[in-house]
Structure 1
């Protein structure tokens, strides 16, 4: 059994809680998610089951889309509603033109400093471990890409709703922090929904209740791995499955390839090296 499920994670559960839930429903220990969502957040959480867990690393690089809410008036140490209030201040009325102009300043490649309450590792420790120990640490900025960021709704003067499409590794809480700094008002992320992960859309996601009731079929993992495909003859497939090199007669220069046998069965990922193809990760 192998495949992938598009799950609608509810708020109040960790991503690992969802993994445990799927383990029980599908009666297997081999379950893994493709990108953590904070406990307070909801939305798309693709989960790999069985042999598909071998290919999680080929899915985590995908772009993501979020809808998030900023509430003005105070900021917290975690940058979201779960944290302690560390700053408060007056809230001013904003014009939509000003809001849109500030949002546009974040489009493109930007540098952002990961939140101290995050799983980002510095010197072998997760940042939230430093935070819980009360230690101050220099956090180097990371480069991420904001493909587009749009104002959805402004409930003047306290709340604003925003859509963003961004690259892997973007911290929406850090984006909220930096938007508030640009607006010169304290604020925090009061809501977060992940609406897309690569080809996975929120409108196609299963709730946990639906999964428990229907136990939906798993989708084939190779459908969501964005790599060129190569179909092997019987002898080539046998060699690959034995971990052997085969001749590269396909003239594909890219490094990684999806490998199929002559019946169209997905075998795994191969690596193109000059005139040879070697297995990288097989089902």
Structure 2
């Protein structure tokens, strides 16, 4: 089978690790055994034609189901992970370069971290007491549209062969500015619980780096302090301001905010964005635009292109807990019809389970009926069975046994 499907990636695992887990399930299943056998057979024939020995090393690529994904999710993140299988991997480039994605995210105001999320280390604190609802309401207009983003300094990027985070940790300026990327924010909806402190998240703690407080070590780093916040081109054109508008310095901490028990206000929004958009950078820019900081604590990719959570996206439990015949049939339908034509995958599973059960019951009833006929014939008194009819019944008995074999195999 070949095609594209989507699955809900859980938190706490990398996209590559999760893909390997699914690949193991598929490779070990009977669903893909015929495809793999054909691929291995074709590879062996090719090697033999070339006068080569079919070693395990040369057959390695056809020992597992070929798979790839159409856009990485951070370990912290959950949600839609698009996966290509077999020839379907050739379609993944469409998802990597041009697909629209929808994210729901939660963040905390008042801090910046090395990675832009809760899995990093705290590098600066800022005040939050000054934040008001009218400030939050101004955010969508400033960021919706065509916008420039600066990837996080601690992203997995290099400059002159050296990771960006090493410059930052050493307190060194970058040899040149980080190149911005052009992205598009199609929509941004702020949730009603934004600025609420009634949440489960504790503020991230500070750590030491090489015997120094990391926040103090990076406080004077020019790369971190001189990075710009960009508003959308549409907002800037409308209001006659520069795209890299000077948002000013973050507000200092109050005594209340320095208290370890202080509960930071939350930022919660849903956004529809183009490929290549850093949600962590968007969160950071929103925090700085409000003269504070912000870092991500939760991220859900709710949609990618035609794949939508709760509509046409699998869960890992579908492959781990359901019968292979069931998930294999559903996966085949998704491959054939495409995600845009699957409106309720949960109902599709129920329908498939009911259909397969009905087919099994029908086969069982047919087998039972045939066996009953044979027993009745055998129980007839011998004197009532002529030589001709006996011969005919034996032929019928052999025919019935022949018909039964495929059901038993």
TM-score in terms of structure 1 length: 0.72
Equivalent residue number for residue 280 of structure 2: 173
Equivalent residue number for residue 155 of structure 2: 118
1:120 Cα deviation from its structure 2 partner = 4.7
After superposition, give the CA deviation of every residue in 1:24-49 in whole Å (9 maximum; x if it has no partner): 11113411010000001111101111
Q: Comparing both structures, which one devotes a greater share of its residues to helix?
A: 2
The verdict on how the C-alpha distance between 1:5 and 1:136 changes in structure 2, with shifts beyond 3 A counting, is: farther
Q: Is the deviation greater in 154-163 or in 123-132?
A: 123-132
The verdict on how the C-alpha distance between 1:128 and 1:49 changes in structure 2, with shifts beyond 3 A counting, is: farther
Equivalent residue number for residue 202 of structure 1: 309
The verdict on how the C-alpha distance between 1:62 and 1:86 changes in structure 2, with shifts beyond 3 A counting, is: same
Equivalent residue number for residue 151 of structure 1: 190
Q: Comparing both structures, which one devotes a greater share of its residues to strand?
A: 1
Larger radius of gyration: 2
Equivalent residue number for residue 105 of structure 2: 68
Which of 89, 97, 101 aligns to 1:53? It is 89
1:89 Cα deviation from its structure 2 partner = 2.6
The verdict on how the C-alpha distance between 1:142 and 1:90 changes in structure 2, with shifts beyond 3 A counting, is: same
Given that 2:69 and 2:92 are in contact with CA atoms closer than 8 Å, whether structure 1 keeps it comes out as yes
Q: Distance in 2 between matches of 1:85 and 1:7?
A: 32
The verdict on how the C-alpha distance between 1:123 and 1:145 changes in structure 2, with shifts beyond 3 A counting, is: farther
Given that 1:76 and 1:83 are in contact with CA atoms closer than 8 Å, whether structure 2 keeps it comes out as yes
Equivalent residue number for residue 91 of structure 1: 128
TM-score in terms of structure 2 length: 0.51
Q: Distance in 1 between matches of 2:273 and 2:162?
A: 26
Q: Distance in 2 between matches of 1:37 and 1:46?
A: 10
Q: Distance in 2 between matches of 1:127 and 1:201?
A: 34
Q: Distance in 2 between matches of 1:38 and 1:81?
A: 12
Q: Distance in 1 between matches of 2:308 and 2:89?
A: 20
Give the root-mean-square deviation of aligned CA atoms. 2.5
Q: Is the deviation greater in 45-54 or in 216-225?
A: 216-225
The verdict on how the C-alpha distance between 1:139 and 1:207 changes in structure 2, with shifts beyond 3 A counting, is: same
Which of 137, 153, 158 aligns to 1:100? It is 137
Given that 2:4 and 2:338 are in contact with CA atoms closer than 8 Å, whether structure 1 keeps it comes out as no
Q: Distance in 1 between matches of 2:162 and 2:310?
A: 37
1:220 is the counterpart of 2:257: no
Matched residue count: 225
Alignment of 1:231-246 (within 5 A): none
SS of the residue 2:321 aligns to:
helix
Q: Is the deviation greater in 132-141 or in 19-28?
A: 132-141
Given that 2:5 and 2:335 are in contact with CA atoms closer than 8 Å, whether structure 1 keeps it comes out as no
Deviation >6 Å, runs of 4+: 129-135
Given that 1:52 and 1:221 are in contact with CA atoms closer than 8 Å, whether structure 2 keeps it comes out as no
1:161 is the counterpart of 2:268: yes
Flag structure 1 segments of 5+ consecutive residues without an equivalent. Answer: 226-283
SS of the residue 1:105 aligns to:
helix
Q: Distance in 1 between matches of 2:92 and 2:73?
A: 15
Equivalent residue number for residue 266 of structure 1: none
Given that 1:67 and 1:162 are in contact with CA atoms closer than 8 Å, whether structure 2 keeps it comes out as yes
After superposition, give the CA deviation of every residue in 1:52-108 in whole Å (9 maximum; x if it has no partner): 112211222201010011201221111100111111132225333321212320010
1:221 Cα deviation from its structure 2 partner = 7.5
